[in-house]
Amino acid sequence: MKGGDQPDLNNFAPDSYRDDNPHSEIENKSDPDSYRDKYPKSEISNMEVHHHPQLQHKPKPWKEYLLEYLMIFLAVMTGFFAESYREHLGEQSKEHEYAVNIKKDLLRDTVNVNVWIPALHNRVAKFDTLIWYLETDGIVKEGANMYLLARLSTRNSIYEPSDNTISEMKSSGNLRLIHNREIVNSLMNHERTLEQYKNVVDMEEKEDILSYPLLAQLFDAAVTDKMTNVSKNRILSEKEYAGQSLDVLHMPPGNPQLINHDKEKVNELIYYLHQRKSSFLGEMRHLMGMKNQDIELLKQLNEEYKLDDE
């Protein structure tokens, strides 16, 4: 084939090309050995063959399992004990706080009880005087004082103990924080005495209400209305409240008398006054019992929680 002439593709054969070109690269490439001889530093000679490792799981000795179990167990138990200790410290702090607040309530109660016991004793004496006036035949010489005592008899002031801390502990279930059993028993005895006192107070309040209609039928309401002085109305101290302060009440002028001398109604009023006297005496007895319990509880709290300085 001469230059410029196009090859005849119809007469073209692969073998004739090799015959005309004996040193052709096609022939050499078909022989791997000749290719390596020509390119001795070929990357082929440097290629590494990577085999997948055969994974074989050998059984662990039982000691390794035991060690792993002990490590997990110790980690869990350490966390548990740490949490328990933290809760224990929190409960100890809360227990001490409750003890301090109970002591404050008891100290306040002791002071107030010392006010209310003599106040109730004085109230009994006033009722005795009023009953003596009602039993008097004819004109009562001290009618103004009789009206004042009758008006004071409708004042149903009562002692209210400071039991907020104990009530909160009972409702929240935190009474369990008090670990000293003697203190718990003393608190329960105190609560029992308090409930007995409240029962007597409830009875006395009912007796007080029953006396209202009789007072209205026997005493002149126009006179009692003029005995009130609202200009002096103010917040009373515990002692004034217990002693039935006369700030807003004053004795009426003159010598007013009963407007009705019906023996049956007078007798019925005297009966309710007598019942209320008995209730006052019952309240005094329970208050004296609570005072003694308060003193004993304060002693126990100071010894158990070292509260002498708090």
Residue 142's pLDDT band, with cuts at 50, 70 and 90, is: very high
pLDDT of residue 32: 52
Residue 214 confidence (pLDDT) above 90: yes
pLDDT of residue 308: 76
- Judge contact between 148 and 256, C-beta under 8 A: no
pLDDT of residue 134: 97
Structure tokens at 73: 């167990």
pLDDT, tens digit (0-9, with 9 covering 90-100), for 221-269: 999 998 887 766 677 788 777 877 777 788 999 999 999 999 999 999 9
| Domain boundaries, given as residue ranges, for the chain | 76-305
pLDDT, tens digit (0-9, with 9 covering 90-100), for 86-129: 766 566 788 889 999 999 999 999 999 999 999 999 999 999 99
Residue 51 confidence (pLDDT) above 60: no
pLDDT of residue 182: 93
Residue 68's pLDDT band, with cuts at 50, 70 and 90, is: confident
Q: What percent of the chain has pLDDT over 70?
A: 78
